[in-house]
Structure 1
Amino acid sequence: MLLNNNIQNEKWKWSFKDNKISSLKDLQLYKSDDGGKTWTQIYIPVDKIPESDYEDAENIVPYFMDNNGWIAWIVSPTLYILKTTDGGLNWDILKFEIDKYGEAISALQFMTPEEGWLLTTVNGVGMQINYLLKTDDGGKTWENVNVTGEKNYDGIYSAANSSNMKFYNKNNGWISISNNLGPDPLLFRTTDGGKSWRKIELSVPKVYKDYYLSSANVPVFTDSKNGELILELCKHNKDNKLEKHILVYETTDGGNMWELIRADNL
C-alpha cells in the first residue's frame, strides 16, 4: 500500500513500508511526468551501498526539486546523500564528515540545485542540540551556520524533542523548536539567506505558564505579509489526564510581529 507522505510539485512522492523511516531498504519512491495522473516507481540503488552505511540511521529524509533529488541520512559522524540530477535515472552517493554536528536529520530543503539547508539534532537526557548546516555545491560539502549569534556558538541547546525548518524563498527562513519546560517556543528567522538570525518572541498568556510546548511548527504564509503560527500546548491535570490547547498567532507584516487571535481547547 502506498502512503502519500509527501508530494512535491506533483512530481515526486514516497512512503516507507510499515513506517520504517530509518530503513533505506523500505523507502518506496515514485515519480510522475503528467502532473500526478500516473506514477512510476523509481529504482533506488540500495544494493550498491554497504548496509553498514545506513543500518544505524535514525531516519531517512528525501527532498526533490524538479529532476533533482536528495535522499539523506546520518550514521554519525558521516552524512550520506543519494543524489540524482536526471529524475532518478542515475544516482551518486555523497559522503561528508559532519563530526559532532548531528546524529539525525530534522529537516532538509534545497532552494536551488546548489543551495540547500539541513537541520540536524543531537539528543541527550532531557535535552536536544540543533545544528543548521548549509551547502552551496549541491550537497557535496556542508558548513555549520551560527543561528543564535553567540560568540561561542555550539548549536541551539533546548529541553526539546522536536524541531523544524522552512525556507519560503532564498532569503526568508524559519527554525522552530519545541519546549518540554514551558510554553515559550524557540523560534528563529532569517531575512538575508541565513547570514544572520533573529529570535522571535511571542506573548503567551500567563494562564498557560504550567504547560509545555509539544509542537515545533513553523509559520504558514498566504503571501509575503500574512501568515499564521500554531502553538500546541499540553499538561497533565490533577487527574493525570492530558490537557491540550492550541494557540493561533497571526502576522500581517511578514513575521516581525505576532498577535494571538485564538485559543482552542482540544
Structure 2
Amino acid sequence: MKKIFFGLLILTLFFSGCQNNVKNHDNLAKTPIQNVSKNVTNNDIQSEKWKWSFKDNKISSLKDLQLYKSNDGGKTWTQVYIPIDKIPESAYKDAENIVPYFMDNNGWIGWIVPSTLYILKTTDGGAKWDILKSDIGKCGENISVLQFVTSEEGWILTTMNGAGMQINYLLKTSDGGKRWENVNITGKKNYDGIYSAANCSNMKFYDKNNGWISISNNIGPDPLLFRTTDGGKNWLQIKLSIPESYRNCYLSSANVPVFTDSKHGKLILEIYKQNKENKYEKYILVYQTTDGGKTWKILSEK
C-alpha cells in the first residue's frame, strides 16, 4: 500500500478558482464517411448506435480514436470521420485521455489540456462537427467521466492527480457544452474540489435529477459517495456501514450504484487486505438499497 504524505501534498497542490468563459466555437467541415466491416471490435456501445476504439489502446491520442455508427441496431457499422486535420496538434497532444459520449445523433468527444477543456460536438450523427473551448482554470487536468442527460444538459467529472492524492471537480453545462460551471459537491464555503487519498472516481446520472459520484480510498475501506436528487443543486454524502473485520482494508473501486427501478439498487465495493504473508487479498462487499439509495445494507460478502 502506498504511503500518503498529506501535509506536503496539500501545500503543493493549492488551486485557484475556476473560470468558465468559452474561448472559441469553430465549425469543422464535413468529409466523406467510409464504410467498414460489420465485425468491428467495440469498446462501448450506446443504444446500439455508436461505438469506438483506440488504435493500440492509445486513449490519450485523438489521432488514434476510431469512431463508428450504426443505423440498423448494430448489424452493420460505418466509420465516422473525425476532423483531426482541422484541429491544431497543440490542442490535443498533451491530453491524458480522450472521452466520447453519444446520445441519438448528438455526440461529444472531450479532453483537457490544462487549463482548457475541449469538446468536439456533433448534432447530426457525425456529418458536421463543432469544436468548443472553455477555460476551466485549475478545475482538473483530465476527464474521469463525461455524460449528458439531455442534448443540452451534461456533466464532466474531472481529476487532478498527485502522489497518492486526487482532487475531483464536477462541471456542468446547460447549453450543450458551450459553457461549463464548477459545481460545489460538499457545500463547504471555500470549495476547491474533493480532496481524497484515491486513484479513481466515477459518476452516473440516471436522469436530470438523480446522480451519483463515487471515489475510491487508498487508506481505508470507506468510499466517498455522494448523491443528488435535484439535478446537482444539493449533494448528500452517503455513509456505508463497513464491518469491523475490513477496517484494515483499502478500497480499490469507485463503483456507482446500479438500480433496477427507482427504489431497488446494488452497490459493489472491491477492497483489498494484506494477509500474514504480506500479500493482498481481494474481497467483495455487495450493498443493497430498497429506498432509492437513502439507506444501504450489506447483501453479501465474498
TM-score > 0.5, shorter chain as reference = yes
SS of the equivalent of 2:67 reads strand
Please, which of 74, 84, 87 is the counterpart of residue 125 of structure 2?
87
Between the two proteins, the alignment pairs up a number of residues equal to 264
Partner deviation per Cα, 1:109-161 (whole Å, 9 max, x = no partner): 00111100000000112101000000011001100000001111110000000
Aligned twin of 2:289: 251
Partner deviation per Cα, 1:88-118 (whole Å, 9 max, x = no partner): 0000111000010010000000011110000
Aligned twin of 2:280: 242
SS of the equivalent of 2:52 reads strand
Partner deviation per Cα, 1:209-228 (whole Å, 9 max, x = no partner): 11000000000000110000
Q: What are structure 1's unaligned runs of at least 5 residues?
A: none
With structure 1 as the length reference, what TM-score do the two structures score? 0.98
- Report the Cα distance in structure 2 between the residues aligned to 1:10 and 1:175, rounded to whole angstroms: 26
Contact 1:231–1:247, Cα closer than 8 Å, also in 2: yes
Partner deviation per Cα, 1:10-64 (whole Å, 9 max, x = no partner): 0000011111100101111000011111110000001111111111101000000
Contact 1:2–1:15, Cα closer than 8 Å, also in 2: no
- Report the Cα distance in structure 2 between the residues aligned to 1:28 and 1:238, rounded to whole angstroms: 47
Contact 2:220–2:247, Cα closer than 8 Å, also in 1: yes
> How much does 1:4 deviate?
1.8
With structure 2 as the length reference, what TM-score do the two structures score? 0.86
Please, which of 9, 12, 17 is the counterpart of residue 50 of structure 2?
12
> How much does 1:248 deviate?
0.1
1:122 equivalenced with 2:160 (yes/no): yes
- Structure number with greater Rg is 2
> How much does 1:2 deviate?
4.0
Correspondence 1:68-87 to 2 at 5 A = 68-87=106-125
Question: What is the letter of the counterpart of residue 194 of structure 2?
Answer: I
Correspondence 1:147-226 to 2 at 5 A = 147-226=185-264
SS of the equivalent of 1:18 reads helix
- Report the Cα distance in structure 2 between the residues aligned to 1:186 and 1:56, rounded to whole angstroms: 29
Q: What are structure 2's unaligned runs of at least 5 residues?
A: 1-38
SS of the equivalent of 2:90 reads helix
- Report the Cα distance in structure 2 between the residues aligned to 1:105 and 1:205, rounded to whole angstroms: 33
Please report the RMSD computed on the Cα atoms of aligned residues, expressed in angstroms.
Answer: 0.9
Please, which of 137, 140, 144 is the counterpart of residue 99 of structure 1?
137
- Report the Cα distance in structure 2 between the residues aligned to 1:111 and 1:256, rounded to whole angstroms: 22
Identity of aligned residues (%): 77
